[in-house]
Structure 1
């Protein structure tokens, strides 16, 4: 047999891989072009928000994981997969929900899932199974997790109170504010530890894939990756307060900045690895998968026409949300208002009394907004703010972070939720002074009163998907 004859199967296989990889690259580029706004938005969040700066490492890590598997993947024959089309359709639907409901997380998730589905659809299930962890690890590209900041703030503050009690330091807590004989401390958003928690979960998943085989050990290590940073952050916050009480508040501030930086992250990683190291049960050079098990019999090469048809169907599925929103969902924009007038309220009269600390409600990009102060016959004073949106689209949202009664750029800080009137969300905020304010926030979507951010997003989603009344009012 000649050397030329021996090389023909290799040439055929190489051509097959080139054809499928070329189709994948083309489709992925089109997806990123179609959803460029969301791709750029994700990249901007990774770069500008310290909570998600670790995402900048996820893409090269995924590339390294795939490169590690290159020789094993070369033993497989790429194919097409209908299941990949299902994944793309799921991602497109998630993006549609996010776009209609004004939830950026769903749009970002939908984009990542569509790219994952593109790999499965154009390379086949056998190749996708060989890259199952790199594909799944791409989910960490989605910037999500800041929603748990209030819960982490509260837990950290309560943990500090427990440890202050053990240390014999008298303290009083109100929400996320702790008062001691020598200071007034806030467990702020930056002190909640969410950025280290999210980064440690991503790191823990990587360690589980590379260092463990037993699912029980993987589960235990992931549990440690969640618990250890939360407890360590609580100890850090307690240490800052304790140093301020026993040494000097100024020294405590500098101590906190040093410990809270990369030193703290390095200590947490070292602690987590020290816990898991004795239980590693996977050899460093162990193969990621067995090609013979994933593809016992090589399939027939996919005809170029079938591969092209798969790509066309995939692109059609990705375009479907745009067509739906343009033809059906965005049909009920309300009339624009030049300016809302402050209403007259029985038993209350307008007041020009100064606030103890400046406060304003924030609704960016509202069509119209007004804020006024009122006083009743008993001397009680309230501030009323109203915002009107003719529709919620293109980032114009009634409910979300930095919208409503708490401006993150101001001196006001959230303390805790309080009892609310029917149909509202109520919470207490505080500012230096100290100044306290109780805020009740109402949201009307399409004329219906909805309670809470989740209900508002669902109502907006329903109106946009079904072409209903999209007008929104915040009070």
Structure 2
């Protein structure tokens, strides 16, 4: 229905109409600019369940997960049994929880809604591979085959319902589950035995250098007074190695750093675990020789292990600090100089560089300043950023961070 315009009212101008329509259009399209940004995993599930089509997809995904769990039920039972009875894998209960945490963080950091297309072929291929692996595990009773096949099946189910983009988004969370898989006894011994002997050799050599004479026969260390200390397989460092590998992988995934930074962090978990374990054996030998062998047994020995684990964490933190110092956060100066997009960048009249994140360290930004009169000088501020301040004239009363 139309309404007559009174004499006191003026018809809307073209500019006002354009402004109004633009405003309406902006409100309509604004939510779609970054849909899903900052939404948790639970929030995305609720969004999916809000529609009939989404509820159908969730039901199918749940049925697929139940079928996968039923197919690999012996594998799941074996997981729980080993985690409960073998101290080397007691961390297995924590790994699925950490994996859920990483999946939730990936959901929060994701920009835009998930494109679920294009995952049928890959998903069915992964599920088929998992089924073949389960069948092979029945014929060849090697637990590792069934364990890895279960992880492949999980990735397949995720790809079927989330697409290739979903596998890419939650790939690290799925891959992190490998740390809950127990190694076969033969493979574990093949890795632990050389580590065990290496720890014995290094610890005996360092004890000799420290003034405590040690006679070593294999993994048996004989101290003065016929004090005998045997470096058992449990002291080979495998527990520390597994823990530090998982921790370093989580850190490397979480930090926004170059690929070489992450590779060094993961690779360094091996020497850090070895160093912590050698120090533990040395401390045990020192206590047995200088104090009393009773203080190197039972609860005391467990306390030593926890203390040296803390030392290992300290070494890892020290390494992260050193690597951070090696990074160059600011971009190198441009030889063109100010005014041409040079040392201060931006190509503005006074060479003021606009605010943007550093390529190597996204959390460190270069502060943009208002146009200032007079010659500019660089003044260092916190975070290795720079702002341009005039050497003469009046400073702005506000807007420049302290």
The separation in 1 between residues aligned to 2:263 and 2:93, in whole angstroms, is 26
Q: Is the 8 A contact 1:152 1:192 kept in 2?
A: yes
Residue 248 (structure 2) pairs with residue 204 (structure 1): yes
Match of 1:141 among 180, 183, 188: 180
Taking the TM superposition and a 5 Å limit, the aligned residue runs for 1:188-267 are 188-253=232-297, 255-260=300-305, 262-267=306-311
Q: Is the 8 A contact 2:204 2:214 kept in 1?
A: yes
Residue 199 (structure 2) pairs with residue 160 (structure 1): no
Residue 120 (structure 2) pairs with residue 76 (structure 1): no
Deviation at 1:75, TM superposition (A): 0.8
The separation in 1 between residues aligned to 2:135 and 2:212, in whole angstroms, is 53
Deviation at 1:206, TM superposition (A): 0.4
User: Alpha carbons of 1:251 and 1:70: their partners in 2 closer, same or farther (altered >3 Å)?
Assistant: closer
Deviation at 1:97, TM superposition (A): 3.5
Taking the TM superposition and a 5 Å limit, the aligned residue runs for 1:200-349 are 200-253=244-297, 255-260=300-305, 262-279=306-323
The separation in 1 between residues aligned to 2:200 and 2:98, in whole angstroms, is 35
The separation in 2 between residues aligned to 1:44 and 1:283, in whole angstroms, is 44
Residue 90 (structure 2) pairs with residue 42 (structure 1): no
The separation in 2 between residues aligned to 1:146 and 1:81, in whole angstroms, is 37
Aligned to 1:111: 150
Q: Is the 8 A contact 2:147 2:181 kept in 1?
A: yes
The separation in 2 between residues aligned to 1:16 and 1:246, in whole angstroms, is 72
Moved over 6 A (4+): 9-13
The separation in 2 between residues aligned to 1:204 and 1:216, in whole angstroms, is 13
Q: TM-score, normalised by structure 1?
A: 0.54
Deviation at 1:27, TM superposition (A): 0.7
For residue 134 of structure 1, give the secondary structure of its aligned residue in structure 2: helix
The separation in 1 between residues aligned to 2:281 and 2:48, in whole angstroms, is 62
* Alignment size in residue pairs: 283
User: Alpha carbons of 1:141 and 1:126: their partners in 2 closer, same or farther (altered >3 Å)?
Assistant: same
Residue 189 (structure 2) pairs with residue 151 (structure 1): no
Q: Is the 8 A contact 1:20 1:78 kept in 2?
A: no
The separation in 2 between residues aligned to 1:20 and 1:113, in whole angstroms, is 21
Question: Unpaired segments of 5 or more residues in structure 2?
Answer: 1-23, 36-46, 325-359, 365-402
Aligned to 2:128: 89
Q: Is the 8 A contact 1:46 1:53 kept in 2?
A: yes
Deviation at 1:237, TM superposition (A): 0.4
User: Alpha carbons of 1:101 and 1:74: their partners in 2 closer, same or farther (altered >3 Å)?
Assistant: same
Aligned to 1:169: 212
Q: Is the 8 A contact 1:21 1:123 kept in 2?
A: no
The separation in 1 between residues aligned to 2:135 and 2:72, in whole angstroms, is 12
Deviation at 1:73, TM superposition (A): 7.0
For residue 268 of structure 2, give the secondary structure of its aligned residue in structure 1: helix
The separation in 2 between residues aligned to 1:240 and 1:111, in whole angstroms, is 41
Q: Is the 8 A contact 2:95 2:179 kept in 1?
A: yes
| Mean Cα deviation higher: 163-172 or 209-218 | 163-172
The separation in 2 between residues aligned to 1:152 and 1:81, in whole angstroms, is 44
Deviations 1:384-403 (A, max 9, x none): xxxxxxxxxxxxxxxxxxxx
For residue 184 of structure 1, give the secondary structure of its aligned residue in structure 2: strand
User: Alpha carbons of 1:105 and 1:56: their partners in 2 closer, same or farther (altered >3 Å)?
Assistant: same
Larger RCO (CA within 8 A; separation ≥ 6): 1
Q: Is the 8 A contact 1:171 1:179 kept in 2?
A: yes
Taking the TM superposition and a 5 Å limit, the aligned residue runs for 1:51-62 are 51-62=88-99
Aligned to 1:419: none
The separation in 1 between residues aligned to 2:48 and 2:156, in whole angstroms, is 27
Deviations 1:339-388 (A, max 9, x none): xxxxxxxxxxxxxxxxxxxxxxxxxxxxxxxxxxxxxxxxxxxxxxxxxx
Residue 104 (structure 2) pairs with residue 67 (structure 1): yes
Q: TM-score, normalised by structure 2?
A: 0.63
The separation in 1 between residues aligned to 2:166 and 2:93, in whole angstroms, is 26
Aligned to 2:159: 120
User: Alpha carbons of 1:89 and 1:275: their partners in 2 closer, same or farther (altered >3 Å)?
Assistant: same
- C-alpha RMSD of matched pairs (Å): 3.1
Deviations 1:191-236 (A, max 9, x none): 1121121011011100000014311111111111111011110111
Deviation at 1:32, TM superposition (A): 0.7
Deviation at 1:61, TM superposition (A): 1.4
More strand by share: 1
More helix by share: 2
Q: Is the 8 A contact 2:83 2:92 kept in 1?
A: yes
Q: Is the 8 A contact 1:164 1:170 kept in 2?
A: yes
Taking the TM superposition and a 5 Å limit, the aligned residue runs for 1:459-474 are none
Q: Is the 8 A contact 2:72 2:134 kept in 1?
A: no
Greater radius of gyration (CA):
2
The separation in 1 between residues aligned to 2:198 and 2:138, in whole angstroms, is 33
Deviations 1:428-473 (A, max 9, x none): xxxxxxxxxxxxxxxxxxxxxxxxxxxxxxxxxxxxxxxxxxxxxx
